[in-house]
Amino acid sequence: EVQLLESGGGLVQPGGSLRLSCAASGFTFSSYAMSWVRQAPGKGLEWVSAISGSGGSTYYADSVKGRFTISRDNSKNTLYLQMNSLRAEDTAVYYCAKVGGTMVRGVIIIGYFDYWGQGTLVTVSS
């Protein structure tokens, strides 16, 4: 059974930093891209960042580029999100998600989220 367990959320002041973790189990962690998706209170879903299975490629939404860093430790089956220069608008539940993919005409297309963690709340406020 695939399980994703986030931790590290909490209250932080504007301009501060926080590191989120996501412990994964139930699948071969290093074989899959992983992602972070967030949801502001009462709002919709926003893709934040993704990382390849090896960790060698990383991708970010424009809203967090230059402030957030995604990484992974495949020896520990753990995904991370380092968040710096936090702003009030970063307040959200942050979900860790496994990225799914399918073969389409000989090409692997990835980008949907087939398993999600329960989320961890980050509140940026003074």
Partner 1 sequence: EIVMTQSPATLSVSPGERATLSCRASQSVSSNLAWYQQKPGQAPRLLIYGASTRATGIPARFSGSGSGTEFTLTISSLQSEDFAVYYCQQYNNWPPSWTFGQGTKVEIK
Binding residues for partner 1 (CB under 8 A): 37, 44-47, 50, 59, 61-62, 95, 100, 102, 104, 109-119
Cβ of residue 86: shortest distance to partner 1, in angstroms?
Answer: 22
Cβ closest to partner 1, residue 74 vs residue 119: 119
Cβ of residue 9: shortest distance to partner 1, in angstroms?
Answer: 14
31 phi/psi in degrees, rounded to 5: -90, -5
Cβ of residue 35: shortest distance to partner 1, in angstroms?
Answer: 8
The DSSP line for 32-78 is S-EEEEEE-TTS-EEEEEEE-SSS--EEE-TTTTTTEEEEEETTTTE
